Amino acid sequence: MKTTNYQFDLMYQGQEHKDIVYNESILKLDANLNLSVDNFVEKPPESITYGQRFILTSGENKNKICYFAHSTKGIQYISPYNNMLVYMVKDGCFAIFSDNSWQKVTTGFEEQASSSSLKFIGIKDEYLLPSKVDCHYLYLEAKCALNFDEVKNSSFAVMIKQNYEEVFNIKWPENILWPGKESVQVTATVNAIDFFRFQKIAESKHFLAETIKKNYQY
């Protein structure tokens, strides 16, 4: 038997090794009180430190939260339950699990903050664009793959600023249609700024891509 939400194993009369069942439940509870999640990732990082948690976006553990509670257990997983609410540390917002998917929750505070103090967000490895943002300001800390799965806007813009010391590339999502079927790469010059716009195609998961202007310089 298990608990309803976090699926803790319950002890029963005559059970052997009750201490193991108890300790594993305590470790899981300790690791996930005041639940916050660092970010969405496609697969578990090669190493997770205690206190780090990530939501997986693909694979057999899609939508599960991976975490590290103890050195003897390694990476473990929690299956989300309906209406489960977590705080997304990197994006500074909440996300709720509903209809078999995670959806970011906007409170209005995020829009107020973004309009009053626009700033570039450092990205590397993989970056999941948040929903309901008109323009994304991204700074390349390293090479990065962009993910549009959470985008709710029918149209939005992306401004990408190159690293100030080294040049990095962007990997665009597969569901982007470029003119001439050739993907456009960002400018290979330090500090260059490129500006793109994307339009969602009706009744499709694809986006039309338009390069507004490349290689802006201060």
Do 72 and 132 belong together in one domain?
no
Instruction: Report yes or no on 156 lying in a domain.
Output: yes
6 within domain boundaries: no
Same domain assignment for residues 147 and 81: no
Give the domain-ending residue among 101, 126, 143: 101
Domains: count for the chain: 2
Kindly state whether residues 122 and 212 are assigned to the same domain.
Answer: yes
121 and 63 fall within a common domain: no
Same domain, 54 and 113: no
Asked if residue 137 is part of any domain, the answer here is yes
In a domain, 11, yes or no: no
Choose the final residue of a domain: 74, 101, 128. Answer: 101
31/112 same-domain check: no
Looking at the structure, do residues 77 and 117 belong to the same domain, yes or no? no
Residue 193 and residue 120 in one domain: yes
Together in a domain, 122 and 71: no
Could you give the 3-state DSSP secondary structure of residue 206? coil
Q: How far apart are CA 51 and CA 31, in angstroms?
A: 7
Which of 56, 76, 101 delimits the end of a domain? 101
Q: How many CB atoms lie within 10 A of CB 167?
A: 15
Tell me the DSSP string of 99-156: TTEEEEE--SHHHHHHHHS--PEEEEEEEEPPSS-SEEEEEEEEEEEEE-TT---SEE
Q: Work out the number of other CB atoms within 10 angstroms of the CB of residue 73.
A: 13
DSSP string, 37-92: E-EEESS--S---TT-EEEE-SSTTTTPEEEE--TTT-EEEE---TTEEEEETTTT
- Would 9 be classed as within a structural domain? no
Q: Is 141 inside a domain boundary?
A: yes
197 with 116, same domain: the answer is: yes
**Which residue range forms the structural domain that includes residue 69?**
18-89+94-101
**pLDDT 10s digit of each residue in the chain, 218 long?**
676 555 666 777 777 777 776 767 666 665 555 578 888 999 888 877 777 889 999 999 999 999 886 677 778 888 888 888 888 888 778 888 988 899 887 655 454 444 445 789 999 999 999 888 888 999 999 999 999 998 888 999 999 999 999 999 999 999 999 998 888 999 999 999 999 999 999 989 999 999 999 999 87
Answer yes or no: do 168 and 203 share one domain. Answer: yes
> Which positions ≥6 away from 37 have C-beta within 8 Å?
53, 54, 55, 65, 86, 87, 88, 89, 95
Confidence (pTM) = 0.50
Q: Kindly state whether residue 8 falls inside one of the protein's structural domains.
A: no
Residues 114 and 82 in one domain: no
130 in a structural domain: yes
